[in-house]
Amino acid sequence: MMNMRSAIATRVDQSTRHRQRRIALGALLGAGLLLGVTTNLAKVAHGIGITPLAYLTWSLTGAALLLTIVSSLRGQTAKLNRRSVEYFVIAGFLSTAGSNLIFFNAVPHLGVSFIALMFSLPPLLTYAGALAMRMERFCWWRASGVVLALAGTALLVIRQWSTPGADSVWIAIALVGPVLLAMGNIYRTRRWPPEASAESLAPGMLIGALVILMLAALVFDWSLSIPDGNTYAMPLIAVQAIVFAGQFLLLFVLQKAGGPVFLSLMGGVSAMFGVPIATVLLAEPVLPVFLPSATLIAAGIVAMLFGVKVCDRQATKPGQT
C-alpha cells in the first residue's frame, strides 16, 4: 500500500514538474520576444527625440496602471507591509529602473544588436550567485550552458571593443546592466513575499521603479517632458507600456515556474528576436561576429533547457537530498 501511494505521489510530482516546465518555456519565449521588442522600441524613441528617462518613466507608468487594473480585477492585489515595500523598491531598482535606464541610454551609442546580446550575460552571474547561496545544485549541463552563453557574449564584447572608434566608456557602462539584472534575479527569488502571486508582484515592482526614477529626476533636475508637437511620441509610449506590462507579468510567471537561472535565459532569447528585428526593421548592420556569437548563445540555451530536465531527474533519485 505504501509503495502504491509513493508511486502515485511520484507520478503527481512528475506531472506537476512537466506542467511547470511547459509554463516556464512558454513564458520564457513570450518574455524574451517582448524584451527584444523593447530594445528596438528604445531606439525608435531616441530617433524621434524622446529622452531615455522620459520614455522609460512614462511607459512604466502606463504598464504599472495596466497591471494594477488587471491584478485588482482578478483579486490579486499585493498586501502592503514592510517586506513587500522593501521587495518592490529593491526589485524595482535592480530589475527595472537601474538596468533599463542603462540599456536605454546605451542603445544610441552601441546599437540595438549589441545591447540585445548583452541581455544574454546574466545567466552565468545568476547561476554563480544561486550556487553560492545554495539556491541551485551544481549541474554540468547548466554550467556548460551558462559558459557557452558567456562565451558568445564575450566574443561580441571583445569584437565591439576592438572596433576603431568604439565607445569604450559606454561599453563598460552597458556591462553594469547585466550585473544588476543578475542581482535582481537572485533577490526576487530569495525575497519573494510568502503566498504572493506573480500578478500581485509585477505592478508593485513597476511602481517601486517609478518612485526611484521620479526621485532621481527631481534630485538631478532631469527632464521628464515629451517633445511638443511630436505626433508619434504618445502612441509609441502607449505601445511600450503594453509591451512592458506583458513582459514583466511573464517575467514573474517565468520566475515562479522556472527559478532564477532559467529566468535569466530570457536575455538570450530576447537577443534571438531583437537582433533580427533591428536588422530588418531598423536597418542596423549585422555585427561581424553575430553568427558565431548567436550560435554559442543558442547552444547555451539548449544546454540549459536540457539541464533543467536532467538535473531535476537526478535530484529526485532515491537516496539523494
Q: Which three cell numbers stand for residue 74?
A: 482578478
The residue that leads in pLDDT, 79 or 210, is 210
Task: Write the DSSP assignment of 231-291 as a string of letters.
Answer: TTHHHHHHHHHHHHHHHHHHHHHHHHHHHHHHHHTHHHHHHHHHHHHHHHHS-PPPPTTHH
One-letter amino acid at 284 equals E
Q: Residue 83 and residue 80: Cα distance in Å, rounded?
A: 8
Range of lowest pLDDT (192-196, 201-205, 221-225, 241-245): 192-196
Q: Which three cell numbers stand for residue 141?
A: 549541463
- CB within 8 Å of 125: residues ≥ 6 apart: 178, 179, 182, 183, 264
Q: Residue 193 and residue 174: Cα distance in Å, rounded?
A: 30
Taking alpha carbons only, the member of 99, 3, 121, 122 closest to residue 52 is 99
Range of lowest pLDDT (26-40, 109-123, 202-216, 246-260): 109-123
Which pLDDT tens digit goes with each residue over 273-315?
Answer: 888 888 888 888 777 777 888 788 778 878 877 776 677 665 5
Q: Residue 39 and residue 248: Cα distance in Å, rounded?
A: 14
In this prediction the pTM is 0.83
Task: Write the DSSP assignment of 64-122 as a string of letters.
Answer: HHHHHHHHHHTT-PPPPSHHHHHHHHHHHIIIIIHHHHHHHHHHHHH-HHHHHHHTTSH
Cβ neighbours around 290 below 10 Å, total: 21
Which pLDDT tens digit goes with each residue over 156-166?
Answer: 777 777 777 77
In this structure, what is the dihedral angle of CA atoms 162, 168, 172, 173, given to the nearest 10 degrees? -140
Q: Residue 124 and residue 131: Cα distance in Å, rounded?
A: 10
The residue that leads in pLDDT, 10 or 162, is 162
Q: Is 70 exceeded by the pLDDT of residue 93? A: yes
> Would you state the pLDDT for residue 208?
95
Mean pLDDT of 108-121: 81
Confidence of residue 50 (pLDDT cuts 50, 70, 90): very high
Mean pLDDT of 26-34: 91
Q: Is 60 exceeded by the pLDDT of residue 74? A: yes
Which pLDDT tens digit goes with each residue over 230-284?
Answer: 889 999 999 999 999 999 999 888 888 877 767 777 877 887 788 888 888 888 8
